[in-house]
Amino acid sequence: MSTSLQPADSATRVAQHRRYLMCAPRHFTVSYTINPWMEPRNPTDTAKAMEQWQTLYDTYVALGHDVELIDPVEGLPDMVYTANGGFVVDGRALGVRFRVDERRGEERPFMDWFARNGFEVVEPVSVQEGEGDFLLVGDTILAGTGFRSASDSHREVAEVFGREVVSLRLVDPRFYHLDTAISVLDPVEGPSTLSGTGGVEKANIAYLPGAFDEASRAILRERYPDAIEVSDADGAVFGLNSASDGYNVFISPRATGFEQQLRDRGYNPVLIDLSELLLGGGGIKCCTLELRGK
Ligand code: ARG
């Protein structure tokens, strides 16, 4: 863990414009179990899911971000989790090839949406679940495996995007996608966007050490010495399933320790409660796919 609460760059955080893809949870329910959070016997409240989701949408828009929408499809209750719809970098969209049969019906609608909206679509060969398991940190792609995405997909994503890919193994079934265990705080690496500082801000992450095997933990410690390590309690409320624009970090209000850690580093935590969508095993990040243009 970092010993300094105020790294030199903490005063220079600037919100960067984002473009996201979301899908209204109009058909949201829990009718099957494909992760430990899902219990079909527990009732779900679709109206409440819609309301909570709308708050996330409105908050992104109010902060100046662009949010695109894909039409929800009846019978695909998990389509609200758009992070799994693909992985989009440099205007190129790698489609999703779900491990779980229950979600395979989403593959075509997402690829069609990318094509209609001017993205170059790459049809996937290996099993992988999009931005649920691929996270762009600076120029590097962190790629998760262990539960959903197959490790061959890591080679495929490296070829498709021509970037360094670092494989990480998830070991706790509650954190079955990489975006439930790592939060990318500064997605853009390079010169600071604030003039006058002359500094270079490196992309940083927050993560839950217990979600990874020992080899992956060692990689994370080495590559991100300033990372925020979150507590098990904050991880367990999906605190890491968050989006960031480099200044505003959209997190669950239950992740109170993480909230304070973010403040200490000069970020602005924005609290959004998606408790209803957590019944499907997803949170803020799961409902947010980043669309990165050329
Ligand atoms: N019920 C969905 C599933 O198990 C939740 C997906 C969460 N998405 C994510 N990016 N972690 O596939």
Could you tell me the residue ranges of all domains in the chain? 19-290
Q: What atom of ligand 1 comes closest to residue 129's alpha carbon?
A: 10
Residue whose CA is at the smallest distance from ligand 1 atom 7:
282
Q: What's the mean pLDDT when you consider all of the chain?
A: 93
* Mutation to probe ligand 1, out of 42, 81, 178, 287 (largest number of atoms < 8 A from CB): 81
CB atoms within 10 A of CB 233: 13
pLDDT digits (tens, 9 = 90+) for 3-38: 444 454 556 899 999 999 999 999 999 999 999 999
Mean pLDDT of 70-99: 98
pLDDT digits (tens, 9 = 90+) for 206-235: 999 999 999 999 999 999 999 999 999 999
280 lines ligand 1 (CB under 6 A): yes
pLDDT digits (tens, 9 = 90+) for 129-161: 999 999 999 999 999 999 999 999 999 999 999
pLDDT at 188 over 70: no
Q: What atom of ligand 1 comes closest to residue 180's alpha carbon?
A: 11
Determine whether 47 is exposed, middle or buried from the number of CB atoms within 10 Å of its CB (0-12, 13-18, 19+): exposed
Which of 25, 21, 18 is closest to 274 using CA atoms?
25
Alpha-carbon distances, residue 188 vs 51, 67, 201 (angstroms): 31, 19, 9
Mean pLDDT of 67-94: 98
Residue whose CA is at the smallest distance from ligand 1 atom 1:
280
Q: What is the DSSP letter of 46?
A: H
Tokens coding 151: 């490790």
CB atoms within 10 A of CB 150: 16
What is the structure's pLDDT at 49? 98
Q: Band the pLDDT of 238: cuts 50, 70, 90.
A: very high
209 lines ligand 1 (CB under 6 A): no
pTM for the full predicted model: 0.93
Mean pLDDT of 58-67: 98
CATH number of the 19-290 domain? 3.75.10.10
